Structure 1
Amino acid sequence: MLEKFMGKYRNESARLQNWDYGNDAAYFITICTKDRAYYFGEIQNGKMQVSPVGAIAHVLWFEIKNHAKNIELGEFVVMPNHVHGILILDGNNDVGIGHDVGTGHDVGTGHDVGTGHALSLRDNNPPHVGSTHALTLQSDNETLTPGQKRFQNQGKNSVSSIIGSYKSAVTKYCNRLELPFAWQSRFHDHIIRNDESFHRISEYIKNNPANWQDDKFY
């Protein structure tokens, strides 16, 4: 995946003021809950035990590919108070994964885009829902419909529109099920610079539950 992008684009700005976040690239995404509250579950013996809210966050992340064009998804994990994932935009234009394109930064996500795609929470093999959470995510084989609008990003595919759509989908689904939940208003992104960084970040995401006590969000 990464080889096709090598060396196609270079931007020296630390703030990436000239970077178009609709550009083809791999992005390391972190989204936290409001006040870093443990809405998504808990770590037990180095493994994530998701709450119903955590299961929703997991499933809807993988729905991104069904509602945004030219998207690939890398590693993803739900943690007690945040999610990490790799989002790959591939096909919007001819520029590619940035090399020495600067550090990650916080960007706003004010997009209020809705959801309405019929979705089964049994799809995409969400992590185990902890036994302490007494909520049935699905009953009577009925497929839940999160809202009246479609899960979609408005206009051009960009990191902000895709993540804004995802955040809104999770929030609306939780509201529908009357589950207390809120996101932090912003998210953190980092453009993955090269193949070595891609694999290092992928391993970090994969091993995050086992290393939870050393996590800065702990």
Structure 2
Amino acid sequence: MVYNPQIHHRHSIRLPEYNYRQPGYYFVTMSTQNRECLFGEIKEEKIILSEIGKIVYDFWPKVREHFNNVELDEFIVMPNHFHGIVVIKEILNYRGEDNSRRGNLYCGGGVTPPRRLLSSPRLGQIIAYFKYQTTKHINKLLRMPAKKIWQRNYYEHVIRNDQSLYNIRNYIVNNQLKWNKDVENLKSEDKNIKDYYGKIIDYE
């Protein structure tokens, strides 16, 4: 099936009143422009990364080097999309206290002392940095400086409990085994992104 923006358009799914700087675990999905399979292909239920896909795979761990209170959990690069779990931790205050357990979100443990004094980044800033850097490196490889690599928006879900975290980790690890039924696959009959991921996450 050819990409159809009327069917596959990813509407804004940000929670209007939610503070995306809050410490917590976030499940994110980023798709390529027009769902083009730039990153590789699935063969015998395994992802075979292209040179472009390898850039995405290699750069993701570097995100935590740029943001001093960000950790990364499970992730996978698929033919036309990327799944990952981003962990935002609270920056130590001036007394050196670990505030990561404050609030109601499912939060991580100890916080690595910041290497530089920065305010906590929003989730959108983290994603924008990743998209910008990977696009820059990919376009350099392709010698096509104006090529759009990523779809403008992205899907996110705030992970609120251990069961949801387990379900999402399990889905990411096994995503390549279920490519034929993946909502991101243009050949899939499932078109409702929210319902599709809702079944995986088992909404809290």
TM-score of the pair, normalised by structure 1: 0.65
CA shift, 1:95, in A, is: 2.7
- Counterpart of 2:103? 95
CA shift in 2, pair 1:209/1:26, >3 Å: same
1:170-193 deviation line (CA, Å, top 9, x unaligned): 000011112665110111110012
Q: Distance in 2 between matches of 1:77 and 1:210?
A: 12
Q: Distance in 1 between matches of 2:156 and 2:35?
A: 17
- In proportion to residue count, which structure has more helix? 2
CA shift, 1:22, in A, is: 0.5
Matched, 1:190 2:157: yes
Runs of 4+ in 1 over 4 A off after TM superposition: none
1:106-154 deviation line (CA, Å, top 9, x unaligned): xxxxxxxxxxxxxxxxxxxxxxxxxxxxxxxxxxxxxxxxxxxxxxxx9
How many residues align? The count is 151
- Counterpart of 2:34? 35
CA shift in 2, pair 1:53/1:181, >3 Å: farther
- Counterpart of 1:167? 131
Matched, 1:25 2:24: yes
Q: Distance in 1 between matches of 2:14 and 2:80?
A: 26
- Counterpart of 2:75? 76
CA shift, 1:24, in A, is: 0.3
Q: Distance in 2 between matches of 1:208 and 1:23?
A: 28
Q: Distance in 2 between matches of 1:56 and 1:15?
A: 27
Q: Is the 8 A contact 2:70 2:89 kept in 1?
A: yes
Unaligned runs of 5+ in 1: 1-13, 100-153
Q: Distance in 2 between matches of 1:90 and 1:208?
A: 27
CA shift in 2, pair 1:15/1:58, >3 Å: closer
Other structure's SS at 1:20 match:
coil
- Counterpart of 2:171? 204
CA shift, 1:156, in A, is: 3.9
Q: Distance in 1 between matches of 2:14 and 2:51?
A: 37
Q: Matched residues, percent identical?
A: 36
Q: Distance in 1 between matches of 2:128 and 2:103?
A: 23
1:144-171 deviation line (CA, Å, top 9, x unaligned): xxxxxxxxxx964110001000000000
- Which amino acid counterpart does residue 215 of structure 1 have in structure 2? D
- Counterpart of 2:181? 214
Choose between structure 1 and 2 for higher RCO, CA contacts under 8 A separated by at least 6 residues. Answer: 1
- Counterpart of 1:177? 141
- Which amino acid counterpart does residue 217 of structure 1 have in structure 2? E
Q: Distance in 2 between matches of 1:89 and 1:203?
A: 20
RMSD between aligned alpha carbons?
2.1
Unaligned runs of 5+ in 2: 1-12, 92-98, 108-117, 186-204
- Which amino acid counterpart does residue 185 of structure 1 have in structure 2? R
Q: Distance in 2 between matches of 1:155 and 1:54?
A: 31
CA shift in 2, pair 1:59/1:170, >3 Å: same
- Counterpart of 1:86? 85
TM-score of the pair, normalised by structure 2: 0.69
Other structure's SS at 1:177 match:
helix
1:84-121 deviation line (CA, Å, top 9, x unaligned): 0000101246335269xxxxxxxxxxxxxxxxxxxxxx
Other structure's SS at 2:61 match:
helix
